[in-house]
A and B are shown apart, each in its own frame.
Chain A
């Protein structure tokens, strides 16, 4: 491991106090980044939703991929409904795949598949704004919710004893 002194190539002025020119540069930079790459408007709201769940001790699954329009690419032409979308989350032990399809009028259908963990997943909690539904997981690790409102959602996966195996961050359906 290199332990090079970071001050080796210190440019002149690095130790000077910030002046008005520096403040102007930083204000410009904030303006540029705010323009090029704005903070998603609902990110704070989604984070607040995520932390309000009950299973705070469960492992938080990591987003692996989101695949928009898988159905369209496969040649499926859904008439007017939102394009199907697949989101994959994982922990060290589990992989959770969620397929979200439109069923029209701001309603969604969610199909999921949980793999790994020696089939220990028994119950899935689907948290939405204002309500939560529990659905059973099949022996093959599959579960589904036929009809749910579009909006923020969060999934938790539980074993047969009710222990939380994982939770997801908030995602949008």
Chain B
């Protein structure tokens, strides 16, 4: 079984805590792509997303000692970046009332603010130049709620055994232990099954 992102991050973070300077640099290398997709999935433009990702790393430098469980470092970073993205966006532009709480019930005020720009809308060219499979899938993804689009985007850049913890850090706990499909992916699969253009047989035994 190959190491997941959480596994690799834990190893780097333990090295950092033990005083190995390169441990932190390696941690930045390993987790920055995931944090980018967290920030962008929260509706930030590219510049604000870059800012928020850097702020997340600066926060970790300061708070590293307070993280009791090194294995939780990815969850901590995802949570920190998600919340900071929410604050950044609230400052960036006023939030309209009808953007709020439009989806499932929330437990945390920071979760109530997933707005309609959560996924960047690509230009027609960017989609058109992709293959048929990507185009079909993308059309269905855009029918999902913003929260589901954000969750699936981040999960897509994670490793399967980490899905439950990362979902929780995104404020969308899947409510079960282990890598189950979850409601967002289940909805997407149901939509794809009704689409003749999506060929599940094409998959074969691969994957």
A interface residue numbers (CB < 8 A to B): 1-7, 9-18, 20-33, 35-37, 39-40, 43-44, 46-48, 50-51, 56-57, 60, 62-64, 66, 167, 169-170
Contacts and interface: CB of A to CB of B under 8 A. Distances in A.
Contacts of A24: 203, 207
A28 B202 CA distance: 14
B156 A21 contact: no
Contact of B207 (A20, A48, A62, A170): A20
Contacts of B138: 32
B206 to A, nearest CB: 7
B86 interface: no
Contacts of B78: none
A14 B156 contact: no
A98 to B, nearest CB: 14
Interface of B: 24-25, 28-29, 32-33, 36-37, 40, 46-48, 50-51, 53-55, 57-62, 88, 91, 101, 104-107, 120, 122, 126-127, 130, 133-134, 137-138, 141, 152-153, 155-157, 160, 163, 173, 175-176, 178-183, 185-190, 192, 200, 203, 205-207
B156 A17 contact: no
B24 A51 contact: yes
Q: Helix, strand, loop or mixed for chain B's interface?
A: helix
Residue of A16, A17, A62 ringed by the most chain B CB atoms within 10 A: A62
A7 to B, nearest CB: 6
The 3 closest A-B pairs by CB, nearest first: A4-B105, A169-B54, A63-B51
Contact of B203 (A4, A20, A33): A20
B181 A66 contact: no
B137 A25 contact: yes
Candidate in B54, B101, B163, B203 with the most chain A CB atoms within 10 angstroms: B54
A21 B134 CA distance: 14
Contact of A169 (B51, B152, B205): B51
Given A13-B186, A51-B24, A62-B91, A33 B156 contact: yes
Contacts of B203: 20-21, 24
Contact of A6 (B48, B105, B185, B207): B105
Contacts of A23: 160, 207
Given A13-B186, A14-B182, A36 B122 contact: yes
